[in-house]
Amino acid sequence: MSGGGDGGVARLHELVAGQLAEGERLRAAEATYRALVESFTDLRTRHDVSGRITWASDGAGAVLGCSPQELAGMAPADLLHPEDAAPFASGLAAARRGGEVVTVTYRVRHREGRWLWFSSALHPDGPAGEVLAATKDVTPSVRTQYGQGALHRVAAALVREVGEEELFALCALEVARLLDADTTLLARYQPEGALVLACRGEPAIEPGQVLPGTGGGAIDEVRRTAAPARVDHRDLPAGAPLRTPPGMDLHAVDAAVPVFVRGGVWGALMAATREGSPPPEAELWMARIAEMLGLGIAAAAQRTQLRAQATSDPLTGLANHRTFHERLHAEAARSRRSGASLALVLLDIDRFKSVNDLHGHQCGDEVLRTIAAVLAEDARTTDLAARLGGEEFALLLSDSGDDGALAVAERLRAAIAATRVQGPGRVTASFGVASLGPDGDPDELVRAADRALYAAKGAGRDRCVLHDADLELLMPAPVDDTGHEVVPVRALRALARSAEGDAGLGPGHGERVANLAAALATAIGWGSREVMRLHDAALVHDVPRELVAEVLAGEQLDWVRHHAARWDGGGRAAPAAPHGEAIPEGARIIAIADAWDGFRTAREGARPASTADTLRRVRRRSGRHHWPAGVEALARLVEVGALPRTAIPARSATHSM
């Protein structure tokens, strides 16, 4: 009995010793596990069923700036970003319910006020429903990922050529989200301060408000140094000007970077916080966004400049010949649809050639600018003032009839006569006025106003003449410089259409060639009357010569007869055909316009050539078939987008231009 009892006691001691050893092994394993976890995590916390922290590791001080004891008892709402508290609570509930690890990513405010991004693996920990969170600070990787996305979105907006307001708002939004800033704004520097163009967050500063130019804030510091700046508002004097705008006194720290446009400081991009500071890398990310913003602003300015060059006269700033005719046809179409009236005033400076001859071309240019200023000042926002070429101007008056247009012309005539210009002193102008006829033909409107202008010149100049039926009866038929009677444009169009079927280029070929020839002549510097005469000649360039001789004469007839002559004198031209500089300039222009339309027009079953391909083919013929200077003028029209709409290939109009 005693031996058996001793054996039982020994067995018991073995079991106890084994359990003690196992416990020690488990404690060692737990220590190893905790050390391993801590090597891969920045912070560990335990949460009760309500989500409150019941325990925190020593990493709290390094990560959040507070001790584990300070974290104990805090609820998620005390630490987490308002947008992230609910997703975190859902993660805790999922970990308790499923008994598996759940990963959540969220933002937590550091003790200094800045936001950090955390990623936590949530483990169920015990029967009481507690959850252990193993947390890693992933702020750098999250911010890098979002920053790359922000740059991509800004770049995509630049490619789409969005408007400036949309671009400004997008940059402010992306910076606010990237840096978790309370307020972000974009401002442009002006003499009196910084004009706010976009603002995001709270407190918001309305676009259009001007921030004062002094006060030592980050925006003012950027302007002074052209370098990134960070300023603690709490260090500014209470009366500092920067605190004047509503809401600025609520900011704790702001960081700003310059926006450079074409090498100069254009403005600043700023991020501000109400508590703490923006993250250390804030300036780096803002600078990258600001760089793209500066490129977008410069590109938008260049596009605006090119559009202005394509649509306005460089000397006077008024609309150019092309823009006038596009607007004329659009207004005529609107008038036909709505029944609204439309009137045109043409004016020509009297004896302008003598101004250039006696006082020089610089004085002549000043006269043109002066007349343009008078027109621009008088024109309504719905009117269009244009310089058609040389000394001829036009004023297109929407919703105006004969009486109203004549009153406008008389007012302009008196204003010009009363204006003094250095050199000639007093200049005058003659005016022709007409309104759109019942057929709504815009070309006939121009011809009617031109007939009235011709009558004003013939009646002694410095006067206004209104076109009407009596004027047609009293005046002889218009003639060109050779005395040949000018044929109405409707008759020319009918002739052109009759020849288009034989040419094989389809309907509208003559009109397209005429429009492009007129645009080329305008770009080269022809006056408006010569451009109109070239347009008429180009309209019938494919009509048989014996018929052309019935409707054209003199220079116009030579333009049509010689438009097939090659620049180098080669080809099938007649032995006596001119070549090089001997070819009339009008014929050279028609030849280029004719070749362009022939290349860009789609033959049956073929796709139309693109603008780039068509220009390439015409350029290959430069110096052989075509006048080199004229081909380069065509290339400039393509470059600035000033081709007539009828000259743009259908495919190119939607994909290339």
Tens digit of each residue's pLDDT (9 = 90 or more) over 96-106:
888 788 999 99
Confidence of residue 293 (pLDDT cuts 50, 70, 90): very high
Tens digit of each residue's pLDDT (9 = 90 or more) over 161-199:
888 899 999 999 999 999 988 899 999 999 888 999 999
Q: In what order do the strands lie in the sheet with 131-137?
A: 53-56, 43-47, 131-137, 115-124, 102-109
The CATH code of the domain at 39-137 is 3.30.450.20
What is the structure's pLDDT at 522? Answer: 84
What is the structure's pLDDT at 473? Answer: 47
Tens digit of each residue's pLDDT (9 = 90 or more) over 370-395:
999 999 998 888 899 999 888 899 99
Matching fold, domains 143-308 and 317-474: no
User: In angstroms, rounded to a whole number, what is the distance separating the alpha carbons of residues 58 and 61?
Assistant: 7
User: In angstroms, rounded to a whole number, what is the distance separating the alpha carbons of residues 184 and 176?
Assistant: 6
Assess whether pLDDT exceeds 70 at residue 643. Answer: yes
What is the structure's pLDDT at 254? Answer: 87
Placement of tokens 């220079």 in the chain: 555
What is the structure's pLDDT at 612? Answer: 87
- Dmax over CA atoms of the chain, in Å, equals 155
Placement of tokens 């009366």 in the chain: 239
Task: For residue 56, list its beta bridge partners.
Answer: 45
Range scoring the smallest mean pLDDT among 62-76, 208-222, 376-390, 470-484: 470-484
List the chain domain ranges: 39-137, 143-308, 317-474, 489-655
Q: What does the radius of gyration of the chain's CA atoms come to, in whole angstroms? A: 40
Q: What is the pTM of this model?
A: 0.49
User: In angstroms, rounded to a whole number, what is the distance separating the alpha carbons of residues 13 and 314?
Assistant: 108
Torsions phi, psi of 45, nearest 5? -135, 150
Q: Do 636 and 618 meet the contact criterion of CB atoms below 8 Å apart?
A: no
Distance of CA 655 to the CA centre of its chain: 17
Q: Do 584 and 592 meet the contact criterion of CB atoms below 8 Å apart?
A: no
Tokens of 166: 């949309």
Tens digit of each residue's pLDDT (9 = 90 or more) over 189-241:
998 889 999 999 876 788 888 887 665 688 888 999 999 999 887 776 666 65
Pick the closest to residue 218 from 192, 191, 183 (CA basis): 183
Placement of tokens 């803002």 in the chain: 286
- For 8, 18, 23, 71, 589, the CA distances from 15, given in Å and listed in that order, are 11, 5, 12, 42, 112
Alpha helices in 339-382 (DSSP H): 352-359, 361-378
- Overall average pLDDT of the 358-372 stretch: 92
Q: Do 99 and 126 meet the contact criterion of CB atoms below 8 Å apart?
A: no
User: In angstroms, rounded to a whole number, what is the distance separating the alpha carbons of residues 319 and 133?
Assistant: 70
- Overall average pLDDT of the 72-76 stretch: 91
DSSP conformation class of 609: P
Q: Does domain 489-655 sit in CATH 1.10.10.10?
A: no
Task: For residue 590, list its beta bridge partners.
Answer: none
State the CATH class of domain 143-308.
Answer: alpha beta
Assess whether pLDDT exceeds 70 at residue 649. Answer: no
Tens digit of each residue's pLDDT (9 = 90 or more) over 19-29:
777 667 666 55
What is the structure's pLDDT at 417? Answer: 92
Range scoring the smallest mean pLDDT among 26-35, 298-307, 333-342, 353-362: 26-35
Confidence of residue 330 (pLDDT cuts 50, 70, 90): very high
Average pLDDT, the chain: 82
Q: Do 211 and 219 meet the contact criterion of CB atoms below 8 Å apart?
A: yes
% residues pLDDT > 70 (the chain): 81
Q: Do 239 and 259 meet the contact criterion of CB atoms below 8 Å apart?
A: no
What is the structure's pLDDT at 589? Answer: 95
Task: For residue 388, list its beta bridge partners.
Answer: none
Confidence of residue 616 (pLDDT cuts 50, 70, 90): very high
- Grouping H, G, I as helix, E, B as strand and the rest as coil, residue 245 is coil
Range scoring the smallest mean pLDDT among 31-35, 198-202, 288-292, 593-597: 31-35
What is the structure's pLDDT at 441? Answer: 86
Confidence of residue 68 (pLDDT cuts 50, 70, 90): very high
CB-based burial label for 27 (10 Å; 0-12, 13-18, 19+): exposed
* 199-234 b/e (C-beta count within 10 Å ≥ 16 → b): bbbebebebeeebbbebbbbbbbbbeeeebbbbebe
The CATH code of the domain at 317-474 is 3.30.70.270
Number of neighbouring beta carbons within 10 Å of residue 462: 18
Pick the closest to residue 449 from 334, 375, 342, 292 (CA basis): 342
User: In angstroms, rounded to a whole number, what is the distance separating the alpha carbons of residues 521 and 534?
Assistant: 8
User: Would you list the DSSP string of 407-471?
Assistant: HHHHHHHHHHHH-EETTTEE--EEEEEEE--TT--HHHHHHHHHHHHHHHHHTTSS-EEE--HHH
- The answer to whether the peptide bond before residue 478 is cis (omega within 30 degrees of 0) is no
- The dihedral region occupied by 160, where left means phi > 0, alpha psi between -120 and 50, and beta the remainder, is alpha
